[in-house]
Structure formats: C-alpha cells, structure tokens
Structure 1
C-alpha cells in the first residue's frame, strides 16, 4: 500500500509549544500509512535537527512576504515533487500559502490549524482569514473554546472546523519516586519543607507574570516557606526582576531562564500556575498535570476543558472589557493559599490531575490526527466554499 505524503507547513521551528508538539507528533505517526515532511517558510530553527534525526525531512522555502510569488512557486513545486497528498498548516502566516496551494492544486487536501483565541487581526486580515478558511478542506482548533472563537470571528460554518486537543507525552512528563524527587530538590536548593510554586512560560506580557508578582506578598504572608520559580526566557525579564525587588520579594522569587529540563522541575515542584491573558489549549498545563501537580490557571482558551475546579486544580475567573482581560486576584490568592497550606488537599488535587490527564496523552492526539487525515483522503477533495 502506498503511503500518504503529508507536509506540515509552519513559519519555523523554535523551541515553542506548537513546534515541540509537531516535533513529538510527526515521528510518532504510523509510518506504514504516512510519510511526514515539514516545510518552514522563514528558517529552520533549533528543532529541525531533532525532526530529521527522527526521519522527518525538513524543507525551507523563505517567504519575503505573504505574496512572494517566487516562494509560492517553489512551494508548489515542492508539493508536486513530493507528490504530497495533504498539507497541514499552522497559524495565519502559514495558512496563507497553504490556501494558495489549494487554489492552484485543487486535488490537494489542505488543513489549517488554529492555536489561540486570536484578537490581533485587523478587519482586512480577518476577512482574508475567513475567505481562506472556507477554501480549505478542513480547519482544526486546539480546544472547543478556540473552535467557537473561530466560528464566531470568521462566521465559519461549524462543519468546516473540528476540535483536536493537544496531547502530552506521558513518557517524558510523569511523576517520579520520592527518592528522585528529593534528589532533584536538593540539587535545586529546595529544602524539604519549602513549597515550590512553578510557572514555566515565556516572559512575555501574555503570560501575566507581573500579575503573579503583585499577588505574591499577600500569598507569602500565609505561606512563609513558599518560593516562586519562573522557568522561561523573554523580553520582560528585566522589568519583572525590578518589580520583584520593588515588592520586597526578590529573595523568594527565582528566574531560571530558558530550561531544557522542564519535566525534571515539574516533578519536583508542588503547584503549577498559569494565569495567562490568552491561551488556546496550554501544553504547559498538560505537562504539569502529567507530573502530578495541581494547576491554578486563568479561565482563558480551553483551560476549563481539562481543569475541574476543586478536583485537579482551579480555573480563575477573568473579566473581559473590549480587548482587555484581567484575572480575578482575590480568587487567585485564595486558591493559592489553600494549596500552599493544606498538604492533604494539595496532594489530592495533584493525584486528580495525574488521573485526568491520561485522557490527553500524545498517543490519543496522534490517533486523532491520523483519523482526520484518513477521513479527508478517503473522500473527494472538498470544493471551495463561497
């Protein structure tokens, strides 16, 4: 039986959430059925080598602009040379050339992937996005919340978009023995009685680190042995360090920078938090739950699709006014205090998180993607919608 050739189209392959997911999913696909490829439309990025080592070819066709005719022609030639059956693009910048391919090669199946609740588009961009979405064979959203946002924002027929939740690699992210946990904490300088609050996220305004810092003095008053650890790099580092100093908590807050050992840190922490202003379906939440941590996260994107209040964590209310989102500080402080001061409750929620995330394993995500591809490839290419 001939294999179906699938080309994933993405801007580039930095060590980000979407890109890590691609690097995990493609090598795990059934190679008796599929031959996966990746094409970057800017540059390769650090994860390209790992993909190629796993047997997934990475192609690069730099686009100088959305309408770079030479690049569009090179991309079409690549698809023709590969005899690709399906192109799966990620985010707006890659969705444009993928949709152009559909117009030029009508028998090609094209899938567009939406990863976030987007509000950044201008009216002109939104109109183009809506026009393109109708011309693809299918669109995919990482959560029901993102799907509903796309349907509403683009007036997209519901039949043209499906939810395909992110999955977590349960072999990479998992709980560890008490002995190993103690060893990690010792190496990190975390004493046995210290309660570690961990947040692993890029240091950008969207992730809302400043909000966390402003609530910590009140949280620390009731939890004198708690410490807050931020893992991640980004342009906000200097501002956040200054804010921590002005709040008088610099000695209890640590900025680790970019880390390659996030599974190790998660397995040794006590609580995970992510009070973001915008998310699609957070990989970080899945990873923390897989390591047995209760999660306190803002009610954005698909957080409530995995976190069950009081069973495996808490979803904090947010207030929305026009384009502004604010997280309920009182709720955040209250839930953080209880998790830090009630050990039995914290451990019970952590066990609940570990059990809940079993339904969101990487294997399930790979299976869902393969079934989507097989469904689209088993029927005639969809005509473009008006």
Structure 2
C-alpha cells in the first residue's frame, strides 16, 4: 500500500513531528513517500534515510510546483494521499483529485484557522475522503466555523513515543540539570513552544512578574523559555517583560532546542497557558516524562491533564487565575509535584501510547480503501 505524505517542510512543530512518527512506524506492507515544498528539515535525525522522496523546490506553492505535484502523483499512483498543514491541505487535495488518487486525507491540527482556510474548507473538505483532526476543539471549530460535515471528520490523537519520553533516572536528571545550568535546589518552570500569541508566554510572565512584585515568587524559581520567536511583535513584548528587574535574573531565553527531552528531565513544572490549541505535544511529552503541568482550559480540551491529579488547569486568558494557581503550586511541597508527575506518566501510558494511536490511523487507512473499493465495485456493476 503506497501512502503519499505531503507537507510544506519539516520545520520545528507538532505536525512535523507527527508525520515523522507515522513514517517511522508504518508496517512493512506500507510504502511511504514524503513530498515537501522545500527542503527545510529541523528533524534530520528522525527522518528516514530515503526521505523526502520529492522536494518541489519552493517555499511557496507556484503554478510550476503544482503541475509538478500532479505529475508526481500520476507517476507514483499512490493508494492514499495524506496532507498536513493548511496550505498543503488545499493544494494536496486538489492535485490528488486531478491525479485520480483513490483516498485523500487532510490533517488539521490547530485552532484559530486563517479566515481564507475557513472559507474554503467547506468546499475543499468535500474533495477529501476524510479530515483527520487531533483534538475535539479543532473538530468543533471546523464544524461550527467552516461548516464541514461532522461525518467528514475523525479525531485521532497524536501518537506519543512513551519509550523515548520517559522519566529520567537520578543520574540522567542530574546530568540534564547540569547541562542547563540549574543549581541544586532550584525549581525550573519550563515553557516549551514557539514564542507567540497562541502560546501566551506573555500572560504567564506577567503573572510571574506580579508575584515577584508582591515578593511572593520564591528565590529558587527559574523560568526557561525554549522555543523560536514565531510572532516578532509578541516575541519582542515577551522578551521585554522577561527583562524586567524582578524577572531578569530568573528568566533564561534558550531559543529553539532540538533536545527537548533533556529540558523536560531538568525541569520541575511545564507551563502551557495557551490561548488556543489543537493537541499540544509538549504537554503529552512532559507528562510522559513525569513532569507535572499547569495548562489553560484551551490547552486541555482533550483532558490531557487531570486537574488536581496530574497537574493544574486554569481558565483561558485569565491572568489572575494563572497567578493564583502559580502561587498555590509554588507553595506546595516537592512531594506534591512528584506525585502529579508520576500520575501524569501513567495517564499518558493508558491514553496516548503509540501502538494505540497508530493502530487507529492504520485502521482508518484500511477502512477508507475498503470503502473506496466497494464503491468502485458498485459503480462498475451498475454500468
């Protein structure tokens, strides 16, 4: 079975990591073909040696690139085209239908879609066999705002490599903390994600600044900002707040980091106060590493964190609630954080194990191909 995966690039991001997880876990009877707009690859080590098979050679879709995509599809004749990200979803579905591909799947893995995508998705979703989303919130947005038919949508959560993302040994934690310059007794609060409006580092830093001004931010607290500057204006504000007198000695801007696991191992609490989310990989990974998490409701639509058990959930975009949750957590004993982290690990094992999630996706591939074959047979008998 030949599956053609289409995505603009493999820059740092959740969709990119998920497509790589799928590529690396397909059974032998599947032949994956990866096609990119352009060869921007952040995850080179995770990329199979024979991929990408095709690169269109442009950071944006052009007429020449689209014609080349159709030509490639006609030559390869895949059984399935599976597209990721907004623009690739649009062009990939169109090219696949022109090329006569039997099964076409688009993946929508974010919230707050661009207006042009929402306006086109009602029509474009009808050109796909299925729209796969990774969260309940994304499905609701497509149904309500883009008017996609519910039967066209299936929720398949992100797969999580629970063998790689695991709790560290004492030696591994000590090594990770030394690498990131954390002294004994310091507590590290980790933001893992691009610095942007969506991830809302700004609101959390303002909440921490308020605690510091009240002299309620313990001296042992260090804040790690791990992620690229995604929105220049927001990033400028984030760094400006981080440079305030009360926060500057505590906040460390690390930029984009490849070895995110070592940051989970070194840290004591994950912060994910997002204004909107699909299914945030960082929360899955951190909890699998036994790191408790403080998340917004928007980041927890799929109940990744069990409030009070594996972490804390706060109302979205309410800085006062975030501040008070931080105050309470920072006053809790270390044993409480460790208990929540351990419970988070068990929750990830039961809900997001890779075999379970990948099994859902492969079963979906098989079902759609079977349905297509049955429909083709019916049409053939009628003619």
Cα pair distance change 1:139/1:338, threshold 3 Å: same
1:230-252 deviation per Cα after TM superposition (whole angstroms, max 9, x unaligned): 11121355443322223521001
Paired residues for 1:151-230 under 5 Å: 151-220=143-212, 221-230=216-225
In 1, distance between residues paired with 2:59 and 2:243? 43
Question: Which among 330, 354, 371 is matched to residue 363 of structure 2?
Answer: 371
Is the counterpart of residue 7 in structure 1 residue 4 in structure 2?
A: yes
1:8-44 deviation per Cα after TM superposition (whole angstroms, max 9, x unaligned): 111111122211221222111112x210111112x11
Name the residue aligned to 2:326: 336
Name the residue aligned to 1:297: 295
**1:378 counterpart SS class:** helix
Does the Cα contact within 8 Å between 1:241 and 1:250 map onto a contact in 2?
Answer: no
Does the Cα contact within 8 Å between 2:36 and 2:52 map onto a contact in 1?
Answer: no
1:217-272 deviation per Cα after TM superposition (whole angstroms, max 9, x unaligned): 34441423111111112135544332222352100111111212210110121100
Cα pair distance change 1:193/1:61, threshold 3 Å: same
Name the residue aligned to 2:380: none
CA shift at 1:198, angstroms? 0.7
Cα pair distance change 1:175/1:306, threshold 3 Å: same
Question: Which among 98, 108, 112 is matched to residue 104 of structure 1?
Answer: 98
In 1, distance between residues paired with 2:249 and 2:91? 49
Does the Cα contact within 8 Å between 1:26 and 1:56 map onto a contact in 2?
Answer: no
Is the counterpart of residue 148 in structure 1 residue 117 in structure 2?
A: no
Give the alignment's Cα RMSD to 1 decimal.
Answer: 2.2
Name the residue aligned to 2:110: 116
Does the Cα contact within 8 Å between 1:116 and 1:301 map onto a contact in 2?
Answer: no
CA shift at 1:206, angstroms? 1.9
In 2, distance between residues paired with 1:268 and 1:89? 35
Q: TM-score with structure 2 length normalisation?
A: 0.89
Q: TM-score with structure 1 length normalisation?
A: 0.88
Does the Cα contact within 8 Å between 1:48 and 1:58 map onto a contact in 2?
Answer: no
CA shift at 1:47, angstroms? 4.3
Is the counterpart of residue 90 in structure 1 residue 90 in structure 2?
A: no
Is the counterpart of residue 81 in structure 1 residue 75 in structure 2?
A: yes
**1:376 counterpart SS class:** helix
In 2, distance between residues paired with 1:87 and 1:361? 25
Is the counterpart of residue 36 in structure 1 residue 37 in structure 2?
A: no
**2:294 counterpart SS class:** strand
1:86-143 deviation per Cα after TM superposition (whole angstroms, max 9, x unaligned): 1011122011222213432445210011111234214xx4332110102211111111
Which ranges of structure 2 fall in alignment gaps of 5 or more residues? 377-383
**2:258 counterpart SS class:** coil
Cα pair distance change 1:172/1:341, threshold 3 Å: same
Does the Cα contact within 8 Å between 1:92 and 1:129 map onto a contact in 2?
Answer: no
Cα pair distance change 1:265/1:101, threshold 3 Å: same
Does the Cα contact within 8 Å between 2:2 and 2:78 map onto a contact in 1?
Answer: yes
Name the residue aligned to 2:379: none
Moved over 6 A (4+): none
1:127-178 deviation per Cα after TM superposition (whole angstroms, max 9, x unaligned): 3211010221111111111111111112222111100101221122111112
Does the Cα contact within 8 Å between 2:121 and 2:148 map onto a contact in 1?
Answer: no
Is the counterpart of residue 350 in structure 1 residue 341 in structure 2?
A: yes
**2:190 counterpart SS class:** strand
Q: How many residues align?
A: 367
In 2, distance between residues paired with 1:336 and 1:311? 16
Cα pair distance change 1:120/1:97, threshold 3 Å: closer
CA shift at 1:179, angstroms? 2.6
In 1, distance between residues paired with 2:236 and 2:342? 36
In 2, distance between residues paired with 1:51 and 1:229? 25
Name the residue aligned to 2:228: 233
